[in-house]
Amino acid sequence: MKSLFFWAQSLDNKAPDLIFKDNEQLTDNSERQQIVSKIYEVSGKKLEFSSPNSEVTIRFSDPKFVIETLPIEKDQANRLAPIVIYGELPEEFSPDWIERSCSEIREVVAHKLNRTLNRDAVTKIQEWFKSVLEAKKKKVDIQTQGIVWMGATVAIFLVGWILQAQGIQLTLLVVTGLIALNNLLVMTLQIFLLNFFHRQGKKR
């Protein structure tokens, strides 16, 4: 599982900012600066999810994302002190990854950063992850359908060409058989490609 990075200011406005990775606070200045630079490098349109109880802002440039959310606590000057979460969607992006990541967000924010997030905030993050996963699945489905129909069409043209080359007339019966063969090829290719992508996902 790829690491999530958490960045938050110290509420006393004196101590260095807090940056965590894998539940451990980063103290190396070079590594801390690299993380901050990566966060600022993420472009993409801002997505805002607001409610009376929480506010979440997300920047997404696939596979990188930056989530900014506001805890209940404010700094000593009574100003908002956002928490920034940076990460990359893994190749094995799945509902399990979403659950683990959201659990990590709750754990780190509560027990490492010692902040309090409204429950709505994590729910909104989880819903956004799920929407991205669904969009990726639809994209794969569309690509699969395209490959299937292209392959089946080429196969039928080849069969028709071979039949004509052999001097076999394309009668209604032959055409009906070709249509049936086309449908069979489509179904077979769909099953094969879906199983293939499923196996590839498991290997990752």
Position 136 scores a pLDDT of 84
The confidence score (pLDDT) of residue 121 equals: 92
pLDDT band of 65, cuts 50, 70, 90: very high
The rounded mean pLDDT for the chain is: 81
Residue 10: DSSP 8-state: -
Residue 138 CA to residue 136 CA, distance in Å, equals 5
| Residue 119, pLDDT score | 81
Buried b (16+ CB within 10 A) or exposed e, 122-160: bebbeebbeebbeeeeeeeeeebeeebeebbeebeeebe
- Cβ distance 76 to 12 under 8 Å? yes
pLDDT band at 204 (very low <50, low <70, confident <90, very high): very low
41-45, 90-94, 143-147 — which one is most confidently predicted on average?
A: 90-94
Taking the complete model, does pTM exceed 0.85, yes or no? no
